[in-house]
Chain A
């Protein structure tokens, strides 16, 4: 029983971070109508940034959130502004030009990081990396708990932003119907740029929060891109509530899978869920929650 509870706690904490990754992805999906296959790679860039700030300047990862999020916002916005927006005007046979472009960008990001930092595994050891506290028999990792709480905070902020601010409303308007939004005076191109920036900033937060308890090498982006699209499919394309549910579900499923099946099956669990969703609940949790 304790093992099960412990696994559920670990899965839930990781699920909070996955939700953060998923929300960024689903926002981009909703507004641009494309899957961003460079999502995990952007997270990897943020992780290296955190690593550099810690190693050379001694900045605490939680403090460097203030730097990595704006930095990745700029990176995401630049990618959208100069690489993806121009493609909307290009005439081509292939409908998924922009998706292919994100694949290319992901490869470039990975390889540039490999040039700078080599393929070696890096990790960032802080005083609290291994710290734990206990509730009854169940142990909680301190950094993962903090990460979970910060992820909850960002998620709520995101909701407030999308529901209550003008910019948030414009983003939702473009997601619903870009042409109608443009007729109402929304600059859709600018909204797309901002959305990509926001998505990148959110995934940057996840990367920075994860780093104290994780390891880092250039190829780490790819599995997280996979996780991000599994979460998005699980939650329903474009659904923010769905992304949160999807993230937590994936976190729980991975934790259960690695405890009861074996570590090597952890990555397969997500993909199996992906297939099951396509089979039995295409449209994901969005079909159940209606938002």
Chain B
């Protein structure tokens, strides 16, 4: 076990000591984001990678989780930490009618329905101002000043989601999921209730994503509909995390989360702030213009990345690892 799991265990060890070794708040923040994306990506991978139901509506569950935590604090003055317990179940509740409507149908309905679900939730959170404060958003006081507690919570959540994944893929349930992905008719013909198991898969996805959303609210202290129900920054990002890392592999979302948060940050902050420092050192020239364009291009980079990854690495970094290694050796 130690031998075949070598690099996974060393990664875990590094992650455990990371906040002790790195004091810089910015990198701690990035690692918290990575861990949140591991959780969300793992949930999406379970639904899409293992069960074959591609969802464009991850943001719906993420937002519901985040708003659950935020609204508890905002309206009822209960600690937002209760959202960590309630965010997941509420996201499942939202997913339930959606799955119940779209799973019995064949074809593109589920993908389209999930896209619509994300949009509906975003519009609702924008329009229903008496509940959600609309575009103003929700602001709560964070409990901890330090990032360390949030880091370990996010790490715990990420570990729990991977554990769920391990358990599910080894159990009968996991085989049901894969059989639905491979051939729904064949699965149904041997007595698997396909709608029911798709529902189970969706609920696990919604639960993990909702819990991650609640943690996000507690950590960031501020949310608004544009942020937590964003199609490109949440739903598409979740898809990218998994397809870059490797669809249908357990470690795929972990690798994908690191790569995608890095890509996002390189663009958003101009190479982790490096370009800015360079500009100050060199003093002007073309660099400020370049920085401006690069920071604007992060969504463009996402789009290009989707196109490139699907064409060249259809099974992601983990899935196509042997191919990558061969190519590297040859080159």
Contact = CB atoms under 8 A, between A and B. Distances in A.
Interface string B41-78: 00000001100101010000000000000000000000
A206 to B, nearest CB: 20
B239 interface: yes
B111 A96 contact: yes
Interface in B276-308: 293, 296-297, 299-300, 302-307
A265 B127 contact: yes
Nearest to A106: B303
A92 interface: yes
B1 interface: no
A92 B116 contact: no
A275 B101 contact: yes
A105 interface: yes
A278 B102 contact: yes
Contacts of B248: 93
Contact of B303 (A111, A222, A237): A111
Contact of A268 (B123, B232, B293, B303): B123
A99 B111 contact: yes
A94 B123 contact: no
Interface stretch (B12-20, B140-148, B192-200, B309-317): B309-317
Interface string B91-133: 0000000000110010111011101100110011011000000
Interface residues of A, number: 45
Interface in B316-331: 319
B243 interface: yes
Given A35-B108, A94-B48, A279 B101 contact: yes
A115 interface: yes
Contact of B111 (A35, A83, A222): A35
A279 B116 CA distance: 14
A26 to B, nearest CB: 12
Given A86-B311, A112-B300, A99 B120 contact: no
B303 A90 contact: no
Interface in A49-93: 83, 86-87, 90-93
Q: Is the interface of B mostly helix, strand, loop or mixed?
A: helix
B127 A237 contact: no
Interface string B217-238: 0000000000000011000100
B297 to A, nearest CB: 7
A37 B304 CA distance: 15
Contacts of B113: 274-275, 278
Given A108-B307, A278-B109, A100 B299 contact: no
A100 to B, nearest CB: 6
A94 B54 contact: yes
Contact of B105 (A106, A229, A278): A278
A264 B127 CA distance: 7
A103 B306 contact: yes
A103 B105 contact: no
A100 B237 CA distance: 12
B85 to A, nearest CB: 29
**What bracket does the count of chain B residues touching chain A fall in?**
35 or more
Contacts of A112: 300
Which of the listed residues B48, B105, B307 has the most CB atoms from chain A within 10 Å of its own CB? B307
B247 interface: yes
A101 B303 CA distance: 9
Contacts of B101: 275, 278-279
B49 A93 contact: yes
Interface string B229-267: 001100010010001000110000000000000000000
Nearest to B248: A93
Contact of B299 (A94, A110, A278): A110
Given A94-B243, A267-B123, A271-B123, A107 B232 contact: yes
B268 interface: no
A104 B123 contact: no
Which of the listed residues B108, B243, B293 has the most CB atoms from chain A within 10 Å of its own CB? B108
Contact of B120 (A97, A108, A264, A268): A268
A129 interface: no
A202 interface: no
A108 B304 contact: yes
Interface in B122-181: 123-124, 126-127, 181
Contacts of A99: 54, 108, 111
Given A100-B306, A275-B113, 20 more contacts: A35-B112, A37-B115, A86-B311, A87-B311, A93-B181, A94-B48, A94-B243, A99-B111, A101-B306, A103-B56, A104-B302, A104-B303, A115-B297, A226-B115, A264-B126, A265-B127, A267-B119, A271-B123, A275-B116, A278-B102
Query: What 3 A-B pairs are tightest by C-beta distance, nearest first?
Result: A104-B306, A107-B303, A111-B300
5 contacts: A107-B299, A226-B115, A271-B116, A271-B123, A279-B101
